[in-house]
Amino acid sequence: MSFVTAENIFLSYGSRPILERVNLTAEEGEFVSIVGASGCGKSTFLRLLLAQETPTKGEIRVAGAPPAREPGLARGVVFQRYSVFPHMTVRENIVAGESLRSRWGRFFGTEARAARARADETLARIGLDHVADQFPATLSGGMQQRLAIGQALAAKPRILLLDEPFGALDPGTRLSMHDFLQELRAETGMTVFMVTHDLEEGFKLGDRVLVFDKPRWDPQDPNLNGATITYDFDARDGGIPFQRIKEDTHVLRPT
Ligand SMILES: Nc1ncnc2c1ncn2[C@@H]1O[C@H](COP(=O)(O)OP(=O)(O)OP(=O)(O)O)[C@@H](O)[C@H]1O
């Protein structure tokens, strides 16, 4: 059985269809990138996987069951937009991310000391070790975003949902966060769904790239139809599909 399945999903807000006929299976350990026009329902699809939304029709299953409502050890679902805790220091935020996996939701004694040491290793990897004792409000936006990503990854979730996680980062930081994510993925074998507006990033990191789009378009009423998965690219062959897309785009460009 596949790790994640979406079967004939429809989702509407009121009378407005957002998603229609979404079918997907993903195996455990796959990295699935999601791209598509702004407002076409990519984040909504992630929220369905998180059980923050319920489909109007159809069924989503993660590890054979409906998605867990709370992040935690059982499902290991973590979403990047769970913002960092403002009342905790940077180090405590990372420890809090990892403690989701612990039996009581927090660490005690020697376990707590070990968790702090691991948090410091994580902070060094994401370049935030020099601000470990500061509070998030004292960090720049990009640093806070890196902390949120570090916190999400510290939980070593079985499934990680990322919504444009690298959007606000400068190009150098973005590349080092790519490395960090790829290393952690290799270590943990976690399944990742990542929404991105950067096609190149989607193909670089993903095993697959899903394109969400509206297959039917009514010019009189653009909100009449919902979006679905219109392309499911295999990205495992070193970005060749991306080259093809670029070539196609080039061919289509007027001369
Ligand atoms: N709670 C809600 N109630 C009503 N409409 C909503 C709600 N959440 C999202 N929408 C609408 O649903 C559509 C899809 O939103 P969603 O955020 O999933 O798009 P997206 O593809 O992730 O967009 P972007 O790339 O801009 O982040 C949008 O038109 C949005 O306005």
Among 38, 40, 81, 197, name the best residue to mutate to test ligand 1's pocket (greatest count of ligand atoms within 8 A of Cβ). Answer: 40
* pTM of this structure: 0.83
Counting atoms of ligand 1 from 1, which one is nearest the CA of 45? 18
- pLDDT tens over the chain, length 255 residues: 799 999 999 999 998 999 999 999 999 999 999 999 988 999 999 989 988 899 999 999 988 888 876 655 444 444 554 568 899 999 999 998 887 655 555 666 777 888 898 999 999 988 899 999 999 999 987 788 788 888 887 877 788 888 888 887 888 888 888 888 888 888 888 899 999 999 999 999 999 999 999 887 777 777 778 999 999 998 886 555 555 554 554 444 443
Residue 39 Cβ inside 6 Å of ligand 1? The answer reads: yes
Residue nearest to atom 28 of ligand 1 (CA): 39
ipTM of this complex: 0.96
Residue nearest to atom 24 of ligand 1 (CA): 38
Residue 94 Cα to ligand 1 middle (Å): 29
Residue nearest to atom 5 of ligand 1 (CA): 13
Domain boundaries along the sequence of the chain: 4-76+157-252, 87-156
pLDDT score for 181: 85
| 4-76+157-252: CATH class | alpha beta
Residue nearest to atom 23 of ligand 1 (CA): 39
Tell which phi-psi region holds residue 189, choosing left (phi > 0), alpha (psi between -120 and 50) or beta.
left
- CA Rg, the chain, in Å? 19
Only one residue has tokens 């909504």, namely: 44
Hey, what are 193's tokens?
């769904």
Residue 226 Cβ inside 6 Å of ligand 1? The answer reads: no
Residue 190 Cβ inside 6 Å of ligand 1? The answer reads: no
Residue 45 Cα to ligand 1 middle (Å): 10
Enumerate the H helices of the chain as residue ranges: 42-49, 90-99, 109-125, 141-154, 171-188, 199-205, 240-252
Residue nearest to atom 16 of ligand 1 (CA): 41
